[in-house]
Copies of this chain bind each other. A is one copy, B any other.
Amino acid sequence: MNDLTERQRFLLSLVIHEYVRSAMPVGSKHVVDEFNLDMSSATVRNDMAVLTDMGYLRQPHLSAGRVPTEDGYRLFVSNIVQETDLPDSTRRTISHQFYQMRQDVEGWTRLAASVLAHQSRAASLVTAPHPEESRFKHIELIAARGRQVLMVLVLMGGEILQRFITLDEPVTQEQLSSAADHFNNLYTGRNIEDMSSDHTPLNTLEQDFRKSVLDEMESAESMISGDVVLDGLTNVLAEPEFSAPGEARRALRVLEEKPLLNEILSKTVLHSHSQGGVQVLIGGEGIYDALSQVSIVLARYGTPGLATGTLGVLGPMRMPYGRTISIVRFLSSLLSDMVNDTIVE
């Protein structure tokens, strides 16, 4: 496939491996020596010339070794790379950490981000699980100071929304509790549409709250992902490609600019090269300038239709893809299990 001989693809993978390891252009002789190849450097040279012509390799300077191009990485990831499985002991350790966290939903995302960052030695991002459809589970109304009320809204799936509401006139906790009870009896299990079309008579206070509840549920539904938890940003700073002034900044900025990040998280599902559920976005793909030096390995987790989230890793394009993909896949399935085991329905 792709007009490449088996040997050329093999050599491409060797060059990528070596470049990932050393971060320096890889020469023909170097490859032969390093991997004890049973051919001469001239042979390698010829094939490398072909790979360069085809756009998979590139020479930084005319007299230096070869470096993989974006296309080279892409070919490698989609056709050549094989995942390097995590050692069993590591898998067990991680599973155990999550088991101990099973009680603390908020802790999951933080733990996932932390584990991803450590294992991949890159920056990680994890969004909390988020239901695709907002369905009412439970409401609690709590009197705060003055005419303020704290509304705590629990959705099917376990998501908790909280919001302050300022009323026109003060009310008692009893009135609030009664309104909450009323809602809980009326709406539990129903989605926005259901609730909108319901015309059970409500008193003025309740009508106010009903509007707030619907508002909140709608904004929850339209949100693609909840908070993004980041970790390991400093890992990226250790990479040599980001020692040039401004490069590190450009790369990490992607993670701090929420609009851009959200766009990438939502679009990437379509645009990128998939590896059985794990998405790999290599170097901006000509679309995102800010990503020109980095790659992102992403996966969704959870149960489609119910609650899903996204998790992934951002690192230099010069990244150990086999290993990273394997880590992301493992954590994705682990988190899916967590979500499924404890989902509120």
Contacts and interface: CB of A to CB of B under 8 A. Distances in A.
Contact of A256 (B142, B231, B249, B253): B231
Given A103-B165, A154-B152, A344 B142 contact: yes
Task: Tell me which of A104, A105, A164, A232 has the highest count of chain B C-beta atoms within 10 A of its own C-beta.
Answer: A164
Interface in A285-300: none
B145 A154 contact: no
A65 to B, nearest CB: 22
A160 interface: yes
Copies of this polypeptide in the complex:
2
Contact of A103 (B140, B163, B246): B163
From DSSP, what is the main secondary structure of chain A's interface residues?
mixed
Interface of A: 102-106, 137-138, 140, 142-146, 148, 150, 152, 154, 158, 160, 162-166, 231-234, 237-238, 243, 245-246, 248-249, 252-253, 256, 340-345
Contacts of A343: 144-145
B160 A154 contact: no
Contacts of A237: 237, 248-249, 252
A146 B137 CA distance: 17
A150 B158 contact: yes
A160 B162 contact: yes
A75 to B, nearest CB: 31
Nearest to A140: B140
Nearest to A254: B234
A106 B162 CA distance: 8
A150 B238 contact: no
A256 B238 contact: no
11 contacts: A102-B166, A104-B162, A142-B344, A143-B344, A145-B343, A145-B345, A150-B344, A158-B162, A164-B342, A231-B256, A233-B233
Contacts of A162: 104-106, 158, 160
Given A144-B344, A150-B158, A237-B252, 11 more contacts: A102-B164, A103-B164, A103-B165, A138-B140, A138-B142, A146-B341, A150-B154, A152-B152, A231-B256, A232-B256, A237-B237
A263 to B, nearest CB: 18
Given A164-B102, A243-B245, A344 B145 contact: yes
A330 B148 CA distance: 24
A70 to B, nearest CB: 23
